Structure 1
Amino acid sequence: MAIIEKLDGSRYDLTKYGIPLLKVNPVDIIYDSENVRGRPGRNRTDRYHGVRKLQLTMLLNAKSETDTIILRDKLAAILDDVEDFYLYEQVSKGYKFELPGETSFKTSIDQLQWHPHMYKRWRVERINNDGIEWDGYRGKRVIEFETSDLPYAETPFTSLDIQSMEKSWLDGRLAWQLGVADWNNPLPSYTFNSNTFNVLNGGNVKVDPRCMPLKIILKGSFSSNATIRNNTTGEVFIYKGSLTSSDTLVLDRISYLKNGAHITGSTNKKLISLAKGNNSFSVSGGTVTSISFEFPFYYL
């Protein structure tokens, strides 16, 4: 079951056109190896994630010959553009099989109750070119996708968005990942006004600024340098300069900015990532007025 979201934000509920069955395959793992003369076996040199494949099967029920053409064209307008788009999952309950002698599964479709899972999505592109196979007024189209950028599911919101969300919106697995499933714990914060704090990466994938959005914004008073240390990963970023209360230091993926100007030459050129789960941070060299972390969560 699936919802399509275009890059302009427009969404299409595929349950309005039939029964969409979405199969999400595991992420490919790519292994690099080398053969060493005289050594049996092979020597693994690296392993990393490749792409993820997804398969969408659309079960269709047309009302007439003309309706088969209308359904074909509507799905083509949604699925066959050259632009990437996002796929969301839906789950259903209440399905009933056809009774003996029934010639249409419209009654069965009407029994379905769809529940969209809008807390994670995959950015995909279509890789096959199969059309609809019709058997009378019943049709089936199988569409193959691959992730077009990262192979992980991602949240459509960022960590800073969570701070303004209602707990009732955070359902299912996301609530458990964030530690708010009992609804008594406060939502995690991603803006801090102290020199030591914890940042929760609520996904199950490391957030790496080399390939993922991660923005850290620091404000405070620092006389000669500002050091941000992720004690969990051991990574340390150092800005070799001063900050006043009117200055803003930004680490935006692999860019370093002070008040909008690039300052790479005044840093140690190191990056800060976020491990899965809690990350213990400390900031030294001065006093933090505020520091924020903005990033989406990623899931295998």
Structure 2
Amino acid sequence: MDVLVVKDGKQLKFSETPIVPLRFLVSSIQQEDYGKRVEGRAGIIHIGFDDVSRKIQIPFFFKGKEEFDFPLIRDELFSLFGKESFYIAEAPDFEGNFTGKQYQVKISDVIDMDQDELDGRIAQGTLVFETTDSPYAQSILTTQEIQSNGLTIDKYWDFGMGFETVDNQELIYNHKAVGEQSFHVFNAGNVEVHPFESYLKLTIKNVVGSTEMFQITNMTNGSRARISVPVAKTDVWTYDGPNIIRNLVHAAKHTRKNFISLAPGWNTFKVYYCDSADVSFDFGFLYR
């Protein structure tokens, strides 16, 4: 097996170092319950829970050429994992094919290594990571990669990522939407994609027939985004996470400040207050 580390835009595989990973152990997600106590009533009324974080453990060993390689490799390992978060991905087979999923993590525990008493060139230990920002696995690539190059099962898209029952020809993320006619967008993950919690970029352009306002609605979960002013054909509106931009200028004041999200599976959309519009979606898939 192998492990990919992506940090500051640079990629490093464990197979390119003396470090040999033995396992890639992903825990279930730690959840934080919340509820309320009612006076005179036994128990606690359960309201819900939040997904918080998960841990990933990677047992490893390394073997240097000489005994004095131990402190050099040890220090190199320490420098690789600093205070900043980064991404790690797993390649479970011997050919180095990654699963297509990655985790944003930071090192969460002291890195202890045991040096072999009989052969000082050999050491072993366990790297313990904890997820940051999101406890979910994320697809390495996003939907615009599918739009541009199609879906192929390779090192970035793999079995078990939610595409098994979908025809590749249906995976369309750039739409020529017609007013009040439905179109569909597929979220292959099993977690809702929300712009405040993960990457989601919605681009609206070439709008025709908008004289008062513009609205796009996700009929599947009821989320919507409304622009409160007429949209010109030359305008390009971008909902990039929590930022709303018109022609490179922040324009949230001209909207209702509401946002679309995508439920797992198929999402049905409609646009309103226009004759047509070009709508594109770019987001990554999230997995529990």
TM-score by length of 2: 0.88
Deviating runs (4+, > 4 A) in structure 1? none
CA RMSD of aligned residues (A): 2.0
1:209 correspondence with 2:189: no
CA-CA distance at 1:207 after TM superposition: 0.3
Which residue of 17, 37, 51 maps to 1:49?
51
1:189 correspondence with 2:189: no
**CA distance, structure 2, for counterparts of residue 142 and residue 14 of structure 1:** 16
**CA distance, structure 1, for counterparts of residue 111 and residue 79 of structure 2:** 15
Aligned-pair identity (%): 26
1:151 correspondence with 2:135: yes
1:225 correspondence with 2:213: yes
Q: Would you say the 8 A contact 1:84–1:148 is kept in 2?
A: yes
Partner in structure 2 of residue 90 of structure 1: 91
1:172 correspondence with 2:159: yes
TM-score by length of 1: 0.84
Q: Would you say the 8 A contact 1:34–1:43 is kept in 2?
A: yes
1:13 correspondence with 2:14: yes
Partner in structure 1 of residue 39 of structure 2: 37
**CA distance, structure 2, for counterparts of residue 187 and residue 86 of structure 1:** 30
Partner in structure 2 of residue 98 of structure 1: none
CA deviation digits over 1:79-137, x for unaligned, max 9?
Answer: 3x222211111213xxxxxxxxxxxxxxxxxxxx2433151111111121132101224
Amino acid at match of 1:64: E
Which residue of 272, 275, 280 maps to 1:287?
275
CA-CA distance at 1:51 after TM superposition: 0.8
Amino acid at match of 2:163: L
CA-CA distance at 1:168 after TM superposition: 4.3
Amino acid at match of 1:163: Q
Q: Would you say the 8 A contact 1:201–1:277 is kept in 2?
A: yes
Pair 1:6–1:233, CA change in 2 (3 A): same
1:121 correspondence with 2:96: no
Amino acid at match of 2:79: A
CA-CA distance at 1:15 after TM superposition: 6.7
Amino acid at match of 1:117: F
Partner in structure 1 of residue 77 of structure 2: 75
Q: Residues 250-269 of structure 1: matches in 2 within 5 Å?
A: 250-269=238-257
CA deviation digits over 1:210-250, x for unaligned, max 9?
Answer: 22221111121211111111000012322121122111122
**CA distance, structure 2, for counterparts of residue 171 and residue 193 of structure 1:** 29
Amino acid at match of 1:171: D
Q: Would you say the 8 A contact 1:12–1:78 is kept in 2?
A: no
1:140 correspondence with 2:140: no
Q: Which runs of 5+ in 2 are unaligned?
A: none
1:248 correspondence with 2:236: yes
CA-CA distance at 1:62 after TM superposition: 3.2
**CA distance, structure 1, for counterparts of residue 65 and residue 228 of structure 2:** 70
CA deviation digits over 1:163-193, x for unaligned, max 9?
Answer: 223524333223xx13477xx6426110001
**CA distance, structure 2, for counterparts of residue 73 and residue 263 of structure 1:** 48
**CA distance, structure 1, for counterparts of residue 68 and residue 43 of structure 2:** 61
Q: Would you say the 8 A contact 1:88–1:116 is kept in 2?
A: no
**CA distance, structure 2, for counterparts of residue 185 and residue 240 of structure 1:** 36
Q: Which runs of 5+ in 1 are unaligned?
A: 93-112
Partner in structure 1 of residue 147 of structure 2: 163
